[in-house]
């Protein structure tokens, strides 16, 4: 494949106190893939994303985005955190949260204006949440909150999207709506990296996969490497899944 | 003393005017910043900071030997900041949780401060009397220059708040995400925390070390009940804080031997109580009313739906039924049926109840309607 490398991780090691959470991770993610990161609880999936994005400080290793250090390429990257990472009783509206996606391009002090508002409304429309724009965010269901987070990332108009368990606690309708948006992003040439829990849906949703359990077990196209061998290596028990062609 | 006389006095009497103005400004600035502390779940931070300020006051006095309030507050500011950074250090460098770190610093600094105060009281220096006023505050010691100081700090605080509003807001809501957007979250954090420390130190003279955190939390907790917008919350919180100051001063001035600081805190507490009970969307009272109303609506819907179900088995939708039939199956009360009669959904004919045309239509749409409401 002659595709460009969108994200390159070198020797990334993260430890909380003495316990390594990620050990010497090397990872190359080609442009335009929809990639799942899978692994058991405590495998370091969220930690990997957070370290790539500079939220956590690794003890070793480097991250580059399109061959330049991440710090210089932030505007190319958008992040969808876990829904449970914020307090949804915060006094603000759905539209306001989505507007936050424009803050990065605005920089310090400058306030969002009409242009930013228009972009936020478009993103809300895309995730089907336009009728709820004025709603206080605690009045939204879990699935709606997830869509709001997705819209906030869409507003950033990035090239690479990192998402931490976007399907957690959402109903089937929302899951389909979200995966359709992710597939659309891929079609538009964007790279999407998703921490994912449901192994059954990996072959259906994703075309690229990384197996992670503190160390990187394997990474590559789903059709080549999503097999019992890698699943067993990652999860430690004999895993039987049927791979849908 | 009646109210008009008191208001006149506020404008003419130097001491009363100074205290009223001082407590109002103090209430406004602590209320404003308190919103941030509450939303960051750092409610206890204010308590720790104010207690941590005590040794600073004592040390400043020991060094200068004078009771100049600005010098003492500078000492308070320094030791408050040291306490704050130690708390952050403990949280980030050890396994201890933030409540442990806060409690530890709070009691250690306060204990050390008390130690110094007792040591100072044993000194022959006649100047030392009254230093313990910083424990519970004494508004009567406020002079015009203190109020000016408060006004200037409040002005700066307001300016910074408006300037970095967007940054403060996003950091409060989602700090990790803010980092990924390229903002220096540490800088924003230090900015907010420093202003909280500054506001607390300003209030020590008036409200005192022990009660200061209430000035930070009470107006914000009350304001949160009334609004779902951050800007309105900050504004309301400032207003509540200012009024707590004004009313508290009025109450303590109209009675003998009522210390101003505690009265202000109690007035702020009343704001909280009233807000918790009477706020339309989050208040206990309206929540209960909504709950009862929902239950009543549900009962009506249930009855209507049941009548609709049995009506469908008859040719005529208004086929009458004795209340016994309705009762025996599900235990409907006469009251519920009578309410439906009032709404013209059900008709009473002697002892027989029947569905009206309108009731039938409403009943057939019942579940669709409910779905609409939920969405």
pLDDT at B79 over 70: yes
- Let me know whether B186 and B229 are in one domain: yes
- Domain of B354 in residue numbering reads as 285-364
Both tokens of B182, joined, read 């390229």
**Residue A184 in domain:** yes
Specify burial of residue B256 (Cβ count, 10 A radius: 0-12, 13-18, 19+): exposed
- Domain of A26 in residue numbering reads as 5-235
Helices (H) and strands (E) in chain A, counts: 9, 10
Whole-structure pTM value: 0.86
**Residue B275 in domain:** yes
Comparing C-alpha atoms, which of A170, A22, A155 is closest to residue A79?
A155
**Residue A245 in domain:** no
- Let me know whether B350 and B242 are in one domain: no
Give the CATH number, domain containing residue A87.
3.40.50.300
- Contact between A200 and A241 under an 8 Å Cβ cutoff? The reply is yes
Q: Count of domains in chain B? A: 2
Q: Which residues contact B20 (CB under 8 A, 6 or more apart)?
A: B10, B245, B246, B249, B250
- Let me know whether B272 and B289 are in one domain: no
- Let me know whether B266 and B355 are in one domain: no
Both tokens of B355, joined, read 């569905």
Q: Which pLDDT belongs to residue B371? A: 44
- Let me know whether B32 and B162 are in one domain: yes
CB atoms B174 and A50 under 8 Å: no
pLDDT band at residue A245 using 50, 70 and 90 as cut-offs: very low
Percent of chain A with pLDDT over 70: 96
Out of A56-65, B62-71, B263-272, pick the least confident.
Answer: B62-71
Comparing C-alpha atoms, which of B277, B273, B275, B268 is closest to residue B31?
B268
Contacts of A158 in chain B (CB under 8 A): none
B352-355 and B346-349 strand pairing: antiparallel
Q: Which pLDDT belongs to residue B105? A: 94
The CB-side HSE value for A23 (13 A sphere, CA atoms) comes to 10
- Let me know whether B13 and B56 are in one domain: yes
Out of A100-114, B3-17, B124-138, B181-195, pick the least confident.
Answer: B124-138
CB atoms B163 and A106 under 8 Å: no
Burial A131-169 (b: 16+ CB within 10 A, else e): ebbebbbeebeebbbbbbbbbbbbbbebbbbbbbbbbee
Collapse the DSSP code of A227 into the 3-class scheme (helix H, G, I; strand E, B; otherwise coil) and give the result: coil
Sign of the CA dihedral B158, B163, B164, B169? positive
**Residue B372 in domain:** no
- Contact between A148 and A140 under an 8 Å Cβ cutoff? The reply is yes
Max CA distance (Å), chain A: 55
* DSSP letter, residue B131: T
Query: Count of A–B CB contacts within 8 Å?
Result: 76
Q: Which residues contact A141 (CB under 8 A, 6 or more apart)?
A: none
**Residue B369 in domain:** no
- Let me know whether B181 and B133 are in one domain: yes
**Residue B375 in domain:** no
Over residues B76-86, the mean pLDDT reads 93
Domain boundary among B238, B264, B280: B280
Contacts of B163 in chain A (CB under 8 A): 109
Domain boundary among B246, B280, B314: B280
- Let me know whether B117 and B241 are in one domain: yes
Cα A20 to chain centroid distance, Å, stands at 22
Question: If you count them, how many residues does chain A have?
Answer: 245
Q: Which pLDDT belongs to residue B304? A: 78
Name which of A50, A87, A91 is nearest B229 (Cβ-Cβ).
A91
Q: Which pLDDT belongs to residue B368? A: 60
Name which of B95, B180, B229 is nearest A79 (Cβ-Cβ).
B180
The interface predicted TM-score (ipTM) is 0.93
Over residues B273-297, the mean pLDDT reads 89
Chain A nearest-CA residue for B165: A109
Over residues A28-54, the mean pLDDT reads 94
Domain boundary among B280, B302, B320: B280
Q: Give the integer Cα–Cα distance in Å for B212 and B136.
A: 9
The 3-state secondary structure of A147-196, one letter per residue: HHHHHHHHHCCCCEEEEECCCCCCCHHHHHHHHHHHHHHHHCCCEEEEEC
Both tokens of B284, joined, read 């206990």
Q: Which pLDDT belongs to residue B58? A: 93
Q: Which residues are B78's β-sheet partners?
A: none
Collapse the DSSP code of B296 into the 3-class scheme (helix H, G, I; strand E, B; otherwise coil) and give the result: helix
**Residue A241 in domain:** no
**Residue A198 in domain:** yes
- Mean of the per-residue pLDDT values of chain A: 91
Closest-CA distance, A230 to chain B, in angstroms, reads 32
Reported in sequence order, the residue ranges of chain B that DSSP labels E, i.e. its strands, are 321-322, 346-349, 352-355
- Let me know whether B95 and B142 are in one domain: yes
Q: Count of domains in chain A? A: 1
Phi, psi (rounded to 5 degrees) for B34 = -60, -35
User: Does A135 lie at the interface with B, CB-CB under 8 angstroms?
Assistant: no
- Let me know whether B221 and B303 are in one domain: no
Comparing C-alpha atoms, which of A160, A237, A169, A228 is closest to residue A197?
A169
CB atoms B224 and A50 under 8 Å: no
**Residue B40 in domain:** yes
Per-residue pLDDT reduced to its tens digit, B4-61: 888 888 888 888 999 999 999 999 999 999 999 999 888 888 899 999 999 999 999 9
- Tell me which residue has tokens 């403990």: B90
Give the CATH number, domain containing residue B28.
1.10.3470.10
CB atoms B228 and A92 under 8 Å: yes
Phi, psi (rounded to 5 degrees) for B286 = -70, -30
**Residue A49 in domain:** yes
**Of residues B125 and A94, which shows the higher confidence score?**
A94
Burial B141-170 (b: 16+ CB within 10 A, else e): ebeeebbebbeebbeebeeebeebebbbbb
Q: Which pLDDT belongs to residue B128? A: 67
- Let me know whether B100 and B206 are in one domain: yes
Closest-CA distance, A90 to chain B, in angstroms, reads 7
> What residues of chain B have any CB closer than 8 angstroms to a CB in chain A?
39, 41, 95, 163-167, 169-170, 172-174, 176-183, 224, 227-230, 232-233
Interface probe with A: pick from B173, B233, B282, most Cβ of A within 10 Å: B173
Closest-CA distance, B228 to chain A, in angstroms, reads 4
> How far apart, in Å, are the Cα atoms of B198 and each of A124, B74, B230?
40, 10, 22
**Residue B371 in domain:** no
**Residue B142 in domain:** yes
Interface probe with A: pick from B36, B93, B177, B222, most Cβ of A within 10 Å: B177
- Let me know whether B262 and B289 are in one domain: no
pLDDT at A161 over 70: yes
Collapse the DSSP code of B4 into the 3-class scheme (helix H, G, I; strand E, B; otherwise coil) and give the result: helix
């Amino acid at each position: 494949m002659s595709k460009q490398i969108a994200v390159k991780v070198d020797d990334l090691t993260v430890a909380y106190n003495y316990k390594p959470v990620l050990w010497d991770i090397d990872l190359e993610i080609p442009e335009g893939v929809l990639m799942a990161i899978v692994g058991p609880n405590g495998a370091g999936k969220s930690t990997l994303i957070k370290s790539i994005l500079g939220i956590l400080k690794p003890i070793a290793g480097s991250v580059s985005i399109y061959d330049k250090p991440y710090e210089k390429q932030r505007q190319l990257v958008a992040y969808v955190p876990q829904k449970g990472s914020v307090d949804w009783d915060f006094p603000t509206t759905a539209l306001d949260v989505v507007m936050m996606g424009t803050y990065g391009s605005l920089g310090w002090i400058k306030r969002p204006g009409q242009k930013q508002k228009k972009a936020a409304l478009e993103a809300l429309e895309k995730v089907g949440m336009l009728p709820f724009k004025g709603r206080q965010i605690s009045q939204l269901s879990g699935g709606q909150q997830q869509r709001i987070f997705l819209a906030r990332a869409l507003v950033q108009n990035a090239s690479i999207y990192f998402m931490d368990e976007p399907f957690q606690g959402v109903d089937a309708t929302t899951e389909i709506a979200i995966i359709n948006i992710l597939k659309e992003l891929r079609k538009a040439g964007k790279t999407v990296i998703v921490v994912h829990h449901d192994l059954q849906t990996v072959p259906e949703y994703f075309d690229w996969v990384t197996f992670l359990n503190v160390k990187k077990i394997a990474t590559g196209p789903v059709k080549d490497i999503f097999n019992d061998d890698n699943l067993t290596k990652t999860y430690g028990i004999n895993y039987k899944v049927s791979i849908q062609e | 003393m009646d109210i008009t006389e008191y208001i006149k006095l506020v404008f003419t009497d130097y001491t009363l005017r100074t205290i009223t103005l001082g407590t109002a400004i103090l209430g406004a600035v602590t209320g404003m910043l308190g919103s941030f502390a509450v939303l960051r779940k750092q409610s206890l931070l204010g308590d720790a900071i104010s207690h941590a300020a005590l040794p600073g006051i004592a040390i400043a006095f020991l060094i200068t030997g004078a009771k100049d309030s600005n010098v003492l507050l500078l000492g308070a500011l320094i030791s408050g900041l040291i306490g704050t950074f130690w708390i952050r250090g403990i949280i980030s460098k050890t396994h201890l949780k933030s409540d442990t770190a806060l409690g530890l610093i709070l009691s250690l600094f306060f204990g050390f401060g008390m130690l110094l105060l007792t040591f100072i009281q044993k000194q022959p220096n006649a100047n030392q009397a009254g230093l313990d006023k910083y424990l519970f505050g004494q508004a009567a010691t406020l002079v015009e220059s203190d109020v000016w100081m408060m006004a200037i700090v409040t002005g700066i605080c307001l300016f910074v708040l408006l300037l970095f509003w967007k940054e403060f807001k996003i950091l409060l809501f989602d700090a990790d995400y803010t980092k990924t957007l390229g903002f220096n979250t540490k800088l924003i954090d230090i900015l907010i925390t420093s202003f909280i420390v500054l506001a607390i130190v300003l209030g020590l003279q008036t409200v005192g070390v022990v009660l200061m955190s209430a000035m930070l939390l009470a107006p914000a907790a009350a304001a949160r009940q009334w609004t779902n917008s951050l800007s309105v919350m900050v504004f309301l919180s400032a207003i509540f804080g200012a009024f707590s100051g004004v009313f508290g001063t009025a109450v303590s001035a109209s009675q003998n031997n009522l210390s101003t600081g505690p009265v202000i805190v109690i007035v702020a507490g009343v704001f909280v109580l009233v807000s918790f009970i009477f706020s339309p969307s989050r208040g206990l009272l309206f929540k209960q009313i909504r709950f009862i109303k929902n239950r009543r609506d549900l009962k009506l819907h249930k009855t209507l739906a049941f009548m609709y179900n049995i009506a469908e088995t008859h040719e005529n939708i208004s086929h009458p039924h004795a209340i016994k039939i309705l009762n025996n199956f599900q235990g409907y009360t006469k009251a519920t049926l009578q309410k439906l009669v009032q709404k013209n959904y059900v008709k009473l004919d002697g002892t027989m109840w029947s569905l009206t045309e309108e009731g039938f239509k409403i009943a057939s749409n019942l579940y669709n309607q409910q779905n609409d409401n939920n969405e």
